Amino acid sequence: MERSGDDGTLGGLGELAVLERITRRLPAAQGALLGPGDDAAVVAAPDGRFVTTTDLMVHGPDFRLAWSSGHDLGWKIAAANLADVAAMGAVPSGLLVGLAAPTSTPIALLEAIADGLRDACEALAPGCGVVGGDLSASASLTLAVTAFGDLEGRAPVRRDGASPGQVVAVAGPLGRAALGLRLLFSEGVDGSGEPDAALASRLRERHPSWVGAQLAPQPPIAAGRAAALAGATAMLDLSDGLALDARRVIRASGVGIDLAAAAVRALAPQVADGLELALAGGEDHSLLAVLPDGAELPHGFTRIGRTVPGDELTVDGAPVDLSGWDPYAGWDGGVG
């Protein structure tokens, strides 16, 4: 029941009414035996195991409300978690959603977030849905999602299975989200450097594939299962940039990786520094996979290099000194 002082905000509506408004917009999970409404959900685990992962988005370091709509936020946090499940070679099966927001937050924003969660699940991982979650009050809008996945009887594809002489391939674009973020910070701000909604909207209209890739990425979720079936020996989600994430495979597997500059550049925005954007830019949520030499690449994957003896990341044989996204680097706690 809505409060008599309902002003369209979370504080005016109260928790029960907010939950009712949000829950009816969320997608159901096919594997849910008991969904939202009880103390906990019950979800089927067909092969006796769950792949599980979690991701957190905080206003300021992870998104700006002046740039992202509620739909964008729901879509993006769903996509990030679905990509992590896919990177293990699993099929996403359910999401748990936690949200904390100021009491002055309009309920319309939370409804839009719920719509984004629903639309991302339906578009990227049909059959996956929201099985439960939690609401709380906080000074800053924060979203947290935990995702579950089904391995369908297969072994998980880890980061430590690559060996020298194998093929390195990518499904999805490289560097688009990074270029979108650069454009937002350079052209989506007002004269004082503050994020501006109108400028960001016009920027998105002019560069939908770049700005859209940052605000609402579309990772190739089905490609994770396809790579696992093709015999992938290592795989991960490219959330922090190709250079940094490739080094994670290098450290875990004890191999080197040599990337082909032309192949990487072909997947990057066609701008002067496209190769650097592809290597150092994050948040595309594409999938990087290592497959046995001679294996047929699954649909959607492009060969970009090979694993080699050693422990270095190189491009055309030359060492790479670029890194990628680190949430703690330079962060001073301001929203700025």
Q: Which residues sit in the known binding site for ATP?
A: 133-134, 159, 239
Give the annotated binding-site residues for substrate.
62, 283, 325
pTM of the model: 0.91
pLDDT digits (tens, 9 = 90+) for 178-232: 999 999 999 999 999 999 999 999 999 999 999 999 999 999 999 999 999 999 9
pLDDT of 13: 80
pLDDT at residue number 57: 96
Strand partners, 96: 132, 146
Annotation: binding site for Mg(2+)? 39, 53-55, 84, 134, 237, 240
Q: State the pLDDT at residue 78.
A: 97
Contact assessment for residue 55 and residue 80, using Cβ atoms and an 8 Å cutoff: yes
Q: How many other CB atoms are there within 10 angstroms of residue 112's CB atom?
A: 19
Give the long-range contacts of residues 11-19, CB within 8 A, separation 24 or more: 11/103, 11/104, 13/107, 15/135, 18/107, 18/110, 18/135, 19/135
d(Cα 81, Cα 67) in Å, to the nearest integer?
21
Which of 277, 160, 276, 299 is closest to 227 using CA atoms? Answer: 299
Question: Hey, what are 32's tokens?
Answer: 């849910």
pLDDT (0 to 100) of residue 229: 97
Give backbone dihedrals phi and psi of 270, rounded to 5 degrees, phi first. -85, 70
Q: Phi and psi of 88, rounded to 5°?
A: -90, 0
pLDDT in tens, the chain (336 residues): 444 456 788 888 877 787 778 888 877 888 888 888 888 889 889 899 999 999 999 999 899 999 999 999 999 999 999 999 999 999 999 999 999 999 999 999 999 999 999 999 999 999 999 999 999 999 999 999 999 999 999 999 999 999 999 999 999 999 999 999 999 999 999 999 999 999 999 999 999 999 999 999 999 999 999 999 999 999 999 999 999 999 999 999 999 999 999 999 999 999 999 999 999 998 999 999 999 999 999 999 999 999 999 999 999 999 998 777 554 454 444 433
> What are the phi and psi torsion angles at 184 (to 5°)?
-65, -40
User: Nearest Cα to 334, choosing from 57, 58, 56, 60?
Assistant: 60
Using left for φ > 0, alpha for ψ between -120 and 50, and beta otherwise, residue 25 falls in: alpha
* Domains in the chain, CATH or no CATH each: 12-150 (3.30.1330.10), 167-319 (3.90.650.10)
Distance CA 31, CA 43 (A): 6
Could you tell me which residues are annotated as the binding site? 39, 53-55, 62, 84, 133-134, 159, 237, 239-240, 283, 325
Query: DSSP string of 236-282?
Result: EEESS-HHHHHHHHHHHHT-EEEE-HHHHHHTS-SSTTHHHHHHH--
pLDDT reported for residue 227: 98
The answer to whether 94 touches 148, Cβ cutoff 8 Å, is yes
d(CA 186, CA 79): 25
Return the exposure string of 279-312: e unless at least 16 CB atoms fall within 10 Å of the residue's CB, then b. bbbbbbbbbbbbbeeebebbebbeebbbbbeeeb
